[in-house]
Structures are given as C-alpha cells and as structure tokens.
C-alpha cells in the first residue's frame, strides 16, 4: 500500500486557509481521489479540569494551547494506514467533547491550522508545506465576521483578543514559519492559479 501524501496548509487566522483547503478538496474530488482532512483546532488541549474563567484566559494563539504530540501520533497512524480517534473541540466550553470521530487513512491527507509550520517536530511528516499569506487587516476583518456570526462573540472581545494575543503570536510564531513552506500562496483561498499548480504537482506525485 502506497503511503498517503500529507499536505500542511498554514497561515494567520482568517488568512483563507479553510477556503483554500476546501477548493483543493474539490480539485481532488474531480480527479476521483479520496481525501481526509484534519484541522489543528480539533487538537486544542482538553481543559475540563479548569474553571470556565481560566479557560477563557487561555492564549489560544500560542503553540502550547495545542496537543501537537497527539496530532503527530495521529499523522503517523494515518501514514501507516490505520484509523484514528479524531478529537472534537467545543468553542463554547473551551474544551474537548467526550466523543471522538473515527477517521480513516486516505491517499491524500490535508491538515489545516495556524501553527502547523511552526512546530519543528511536525515538519518531517509533511510532504507538501503551504503557507497562505494574507494582509493582517483582511485577516482581522474575516476573524471578526466569523467569531461574531459562528461563535457568539462581540466585536469588542474579538478586537481585544486580536491586539492582546492574535497579532503578537502571529509575528512571533506564524509569520516566521512561512520560510519553512514549499509554496507561499498570496490572495488567500481564491488563488486558483496556485490551486491548479499545487493540485497538478500532487497528482504527479501520486502517480
């Protein structure tokens, strides 16, 4: 059995990673290739042991907020052809749910998340490393719209978090990680030329 091709897609929060991932998924679907998607957000650490007030103070834009050891183990299991118990994270309670989802290996595995290229221990597991490079003002606007609409946040709380942790963590961890990428994509998830180039490269790699 051929080992799956693992693609990591990283960039700032609101940069267009999810849209690029979905468009890449569509490109593979047109080629008839099964794809499995993992999102780094699911690997936020469980915080059941902490009171809600302390959970709300957690810096979710720092690498230490994630359980990358578990993500690494799951990648290794998927690469070996095994299935994994994929964690499910709840943004309202700021911790994981007790239930998990069974995910099976596939010829193509796509990871999407802000810190994927900033963790040296994960880099050897990736076959293709992609960084979505989008101006921070656009990222902030997208994050505000998402958090207010989907996560019940206020504009004031999103702006405060952005200035306190999101922006500083971007400059400390995420922006430097772009230099570990094989491809830097501008214009976010709608850069269809980049999508065509990357999907064509991966198609050749899988043959």
> What pLDDT does residue 118 have?
96
The pTM of this model reads 0.91
Q: Which domain holds residue 97?
A: 5-202
- Using an 8 Å Cβ cutoff, are 171 and 61 in contact? no
Residue 185 lies in a domain: yes
- pLDDT tens, residue order, the chain (207 aa): 678 999 999 999 889 898 999 988 888 877 777 899 999 999 999 999 999 999 988 999 999 999 999 999 999 999 999 999 999 999 889 999 999 999 999 999 999 999 999 999 999 999 999 999 988 878 877 877 777 777 777 878 778 888 888 889 999 999 999 999 999 999 887 888 998 888 888 888 777
> What pLDDT does residue 144 have?
77
Residue with tokens 């830097």: 184
Residue 50 lies in a domain: yes
The SS3 of residue 26 is helix
Spatial separation of the C-alpha atoms in residues 110 and 198, rounded to whole Å: 13
The closest of 20, 10, 3 to 187, measured between CA atoms, is 20
Residue 207 lies in a domain: no
> What pLDDT does residue 180 have?
96
> What pLDDT does residue 28 have?
83
> What pLDDT does residue 1 have?
60
- Total count of domains within the chain: 1
CATH number of the domain to which 84 belongs = 3.40.50.300
């Amino acid at each position: 059995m051929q080992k799956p091709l693992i693609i990591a897609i990283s960039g700032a929060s609101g940069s267009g990673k999810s849209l690029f991932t979905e468009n890449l998924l569509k490109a593979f679907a047109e080629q008839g290739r099964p794809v499995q998607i993992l999102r780094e957000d699911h690997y936020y650490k469980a915080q059941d042991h902490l009171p809600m007030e302390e959970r709300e103070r957690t810096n979710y834009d720092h690498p230490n907020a994630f359980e990358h050891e578990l993500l690494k183990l799951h990648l290794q299991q998927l690469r070996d052809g095994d299935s994994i118990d994929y964690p499910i994270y709840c943004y309202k309670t700021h911790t994981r749910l007790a239930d998990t989802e069974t995910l099976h290996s596939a010829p193509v595995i796509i990871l999407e998340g802000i810190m994927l290229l900033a963790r040296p221990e994960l880099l050897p597991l990736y076959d293709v490393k992609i960084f979505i490079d989008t101006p921070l003002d656009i990222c902030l606007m997208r994050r505000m719209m998402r958090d207010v609409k989907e996560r019940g946040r206020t504009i004031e709380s999103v702006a405060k978090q952005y200035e306190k942790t999101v922006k500083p963590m971007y400059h400390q961890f995420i922006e430097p990680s772009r230099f570990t990428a094989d491809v830097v994509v501008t214009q976010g998830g709608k850069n269809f030329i980049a999508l065509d180039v990357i999907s064509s490269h991966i198609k050749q790699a899988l043959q």
